[in-house]
Structures are given as structure tokens and as C-alpha cells.
Structure 1
Amino acid sequence: MSKVTIDDLIAELDNASKLASDCQKPSAMITATMSKAKLLGLDKGVNDADEVQPVKVVINVEDARKPDRVC
């Protein structure tokens, strides 16, 4: 049995975020993004030198009145 890596967890969160996007669940997308930030240590907003680290968050908004997929 292999060990789970941070890359494995990030991949799972990427999949969860994609599913949340497909199902038009923005709060679930935000949760996945914040979980990734915590795993990567970006949730604190500073590094060892107390410098702010840039974080890019992209949220795609689609017209909920015309869903492409029903979840």
C-alpha cells in the first residue's frame, strides 16, 4: 500500500472542485480551494519572512437558469 501524498490530496480536491463547479455549488468550490490553501500552507498569508504570498483564486460563474448538467 502506498502512502498518500500532498499531490494526491490536491488532485482529489481539484476533482471535488470540478464536480462542485459542474453542479453549480460555489460554496463547495470555495471549500475545496481553502482546503488546498491549507494543505499548501497558504492560508496564513505570510511566509518565513512575513511577506504576503500572492494567491490566485478563479471562480467561473455560469448562468444557473441554463444548466448543462443536472446533479
Structure 2
Amino acid sequence: MITILKLIMNIENLLSLAALKEFIDGNQPVAFTVLGSKSKKYQFIQKTLIKLTYLTLPRSDKGIVKR
């Protein structure tokens, strides 16, 4: 039997790379999707990358963000 669970996750409280790493390390692997149009998805990704200053991160920290 396949069980489908719909979960709404708020990641607004993940304000730093350290908080993101703790979240990733403390959870089982998760697959999620951003609801909405393609442009809304890109806006979400852009907002998250800016919040985490992705472009200025060293390579190892960028890997954490990608996970």
C-alpha cells in the first residue's frame, strides 16, 4: 500500500546556513516541491539563495544548500 502525505513546510525560520545544516542533518531524506507556477518556483529559489548569500559561500557550503 502506498501512502501519500501532503505536508506544508515553512522554511522561513531557516535564516542561516547553520540552521539549514541542522535541519538537513536531523531529518530523513525528503523530497518536496514548490506549489505554484514556474515563475513562483523561481522566485522562491531566488529568495532562498539570496537569504543564504549563496554566491559568496565556499564550495563546501554551496553543497549544503543544494542538498
Same fold judged by TM-score > 0.5? no
Compute the TM-score of the two structures, normalised by the length of structure 1. Answer: 0.35
Compute the TM-score of the two structures, normalised by the length of structure 2. Answer: 0.36
Task: Please identify the structure whose Cα radius of gyration is greater.
Answer: 1
Larger RCO (CA within 8 A; separation ≥ 6): 2
- Larger helix fraction of residues: 2
